[in-house]
Amino acid sequence: MNIGGRRVAPSLSARLLGLLSWILLSLVFPGGGFLPGGPVLGAQVRDSLPSPKGYVSDFAGVIPGDTARQIEQIARAVADRTDAEIALVTVKSFGDLGFATVGDLGIALADAWGVGGAGSDRGVILILAVQERQIRLEVGYGLEGILPDGRAGAIIDQVLVPAFQRGRYGEGFLDATRVLAGIIGQETGVDLSDAGASTARPPERAPAPASGGNEAGQILVLVLVFFLFGGGRFIFWPLVFGRFRRGFYGGGFGSQYRGYQHRSSFHGSSFGGGFRGGGGFGGFGGGGFGGGGASRGF
């Protein structure tokens, strides 16, 4: 027994010693595979992204100072009184930053900055690439319900594009901020009109008329008549948008997406990277984005 024990024990303990040092080594040099989930982007791309300067990050320098301050005020009121955050970004060129489309830049900024509340994901980022003449409205998970892609496109088409085509970037951004604040305020039941939120009905896509141009012409005449008599705002808009909204939120288009608006814990843990720090600006809340929104050239 003793002899056997002596024979076995050294080789066994030697093996165990080997295994132990192996484990220790692997603990000391864990390698890349052990790191928990981090950013989606490669570190290089993420590092080259600028930090936010505030709610307005005018890197291209196209928004007049007083307009930027007005926008900041509205965005701050939205952030303080609701849990939603609006970020505005202008860049000279997304190509120079290493992105193929304005949408790629959008999701990269969204992941890096984490606009919107960390749990609620109610953030929206408006991006202008001056050189490429491209606009992107990036919508966080929590706002996809009130800002579906179609509506995001409508806001760009009706508010931003007309102003941007005349080179009036500040004006377009200010109007868009008012509209977004109006939509967020209306939905959360917070009156933001004193802070500059738009009280008008936000842009929507009306349902297409059943037949062609003739009917459209008649509607145009009706609109003109209503506006001539000053009642257009109150009589015409509910006629058009009332019907649309019912269809949109009730039965038709919007509701079938409700099921997709859930948010798995996966995004929160791995990808809802929050931004902290930055000179003078406290940073955004850490909301998650999934690529919703709309892009346009102008």
Partner 1 sequence: MNAMTEQTKKILIILVVILVVSGWMISQRNRLIAADETVSAAWSEVDNQLQRRSDLIPNLVATVQGVAGHEREVFSDIAQARARLAGASTVSETAEHYQELQGALSRLLVVVENYPQLQSNQSFIRLQDELAGTENRIAVARNRYNEAVRRFNTQIRTFPASMLAPRFGLGQRDYFEISESARTVPQVNFQQN
Residues that bind partner 1 (CB under 8 A): 2, 5, 9, 12-13, 16, 19-20, 22-23, 26-27, 31-34, 37, 40, 101, 103, 107, 148-150, 152-154, 157-158, 161-162, 205-208, 212, 253, 256-257, 260, 264-267, 270-271, 289-298
Closest to partner 1 by CB, 32 or 280: 32
Distance linking the first and last C-alpha atoms of the chain: 90
Closest to partner 1 by CB, 32 or 277: 32
Q: How far is the CB of 227 from partner 1 (least distance, A)?
A: 19
Could you tell me the two tokens for 125? 């980022």
Q: How far is the CB of 61 from partner 1 (least distance, A)?
A: 26
Ordered alpha helix ranges (H), the chain: 2-28, 43-48, 65-81, 102-113, 149-155, 161-165, 169-188, 213-228, 237, 243-245, 265-266
Closest to partner 1 by CB, 65 or 208: 208
Neighbours of 129 (CB within 10 A): 25
Closest to partner 1 by CB, 18 or 238: 18
According to DSSP, the β-strands at 134-140 and 289-297 are antiparallel
Could you tell me the two tokens for 259? 């099921």
In three-state secondary structure terms, 202 is coil
Neighbours of 200 (CB within 10 A): 10
Q: How far is the CB of 193 from partner 1 (least distance, A)?
A: 27
CA 61, 121, 81 angle in degrees (round to 5)? 75
Could you tell me the two tokens for 220? 């145009």
Q: How far is the CB of 85 from partner 1 (least distance, A)?
A: 19
Closest to partner 1 by CB, 211 or 276: 211
Q: How far is the CB of 52 from partner 1 (least distance, A)?
A: 20
In three-state secondary structure terms, 280 is coil
Q: Which residue has the tokens 């288009």?
A: 253
Closest to partner 1 by CB, 190 or 222: 222
Closest to partner 1 by CB, 9 or 69: 9
The residues that bridge with 202 in the sheet, in sequence order, are none
Q: How far is the CB of 21 from partner 1 (least distance, A)?
A: 11
Instruction: For residues 294 and 101, give the distance between their C-alpha atoms in angstroms, rounded to a whole number.
Output: 12
Q: How far is the CB of 95 from partner 1 (least distance, A)?
A: 15
